[in-house]
Every structure is written in structure tokens, then in C-alpha cells.
Amino acid sequence: MRTLTKVANGFGLSRTRLLLWAKYSAASVVATVVSQIAFALCYWFGTAPLVATLVAFVSGTTPSYLMNRRWTWGHTGRPGRELLPYAIIAVTSAVIAAVVTTLTDRWSESWVDSHAWQTVLVSGSYLGTYGVLFILKFVLFDRYVFAKKPSQSSEDAEPAEARTPVAT
């Protein structure tokens, strides 16, 4: 861990940011495995890529939201202001994945005879889409969705005595 901390510090990352990134990554792995299995099974059994993407989206988004909200960013209590922006980001990701998988499906039907290979290619395009969006989603979640509420300004944080000029 000491070496990892030195590398992180070399990139300007604190141990806290590194831990946040690790938790986000772990939550994403869980959500990816769940959604990837759901997508591959649906597609294998003949479901259209759009429907398979929707099933996979619902399957993966629920654990992703719960794990990221509670474990990664430490939000407790009832969901609040973060639910709508999270949903917008998640739905946008799903739409992008649906477009990519549908295009890959159409291409693979024309060029690949084996249904097993078509499943591998279309499932791979689903996984690849979320792989590309992984970093963008982290930034959006960290900066907008789960960002800490702005605390009082530094002027307000100082005691009144420190802000009051003293006449001498």
C-alpha cells in the first residue's frame, strides 16, 4: 500500500481520493458483472439488443446506485437531491449502450454466422461502452451527483472575533 500511496501522490492524488476511486471501481465491477450476465443471457435466448440492454440496465443500476451512494460516497438516510442526476446519467449511459449494441447486432448478423460469436461480439460492445463511460461517470458522480454540499464560506467559518477588526 505504501508504494501505491507514493504513486498516487506523484499524480496529485490523496489517499482519500485513491480510496474513493477504489470503492467506485469495486462497486462498478459488481454492477458490471450483474448487468453483463443479464445482457448475455437475454441476448443468448433471442431477446432484441434493446430489450437486453434495458434488462441489464435495471439489473446493474440498482446495486451500482446503492453501493456508490452508501459505501463509496458515504451518503446515508433517504435518497435526496442526488437521485435525479444519477438517473439522468444512468439512463443516458443505457441509451448509448442500446445504440451501440443494436448497431453491433446489425453488423454481426451480416458478417458473423455463429450465434455464439454474435453473443460474444454484442456482449463485448455492451461491456466496452460502459468501460468507456467509466471515467466520465466517476467525474460526474463525484462532482455533481454525490458532491458534498458546499459548506459555509471560509469567512463564515472563522469565529466572529477573528473577523472583527480591533481598534488600537
Q: Report the pLDDT value the prediction gives residue 67, as an integer from 0 to 100.
A: 94
What is the C-alpha separation between 97 and 88, in angstroms, rounded? 14
Digits of tens for pLDDT over the chain (168 positions)? 566 556 555 556 788 899 999 999 999 999 999 999 999 999 999 999 999 989 999 999 999 999 999 999 988 878 878 889 999 999 999 999 999 999 999 999 999 999 999 999 999 999 999 889 999 999 999 999 988 766 533 444 444 444 444 455
**The C-alpha cell of 50 is what?**
434493446
What is the C-alpha separation between 6 and 11, in angstroms, rounded? 9
What is the C-alpha separation between 50 and 52, in angstroms, rounded? 5
Spatial neighbors of 30 by CB under 8 A, at least 6 apart, are: 63, 64, 67
**The C-alpha cell of 74 is what?**
458515504
CA distances from 44 to 65, 84, 167 (A): 27, 33, 80
Give the single-character DSSP code of 164: S
**CB 97, CB 51: distance < 8 Å:** no
Ramachandran bin of 76, using left for φ above 0, alpha for ψ from -120 to 50, beta for the remaining angles: beta
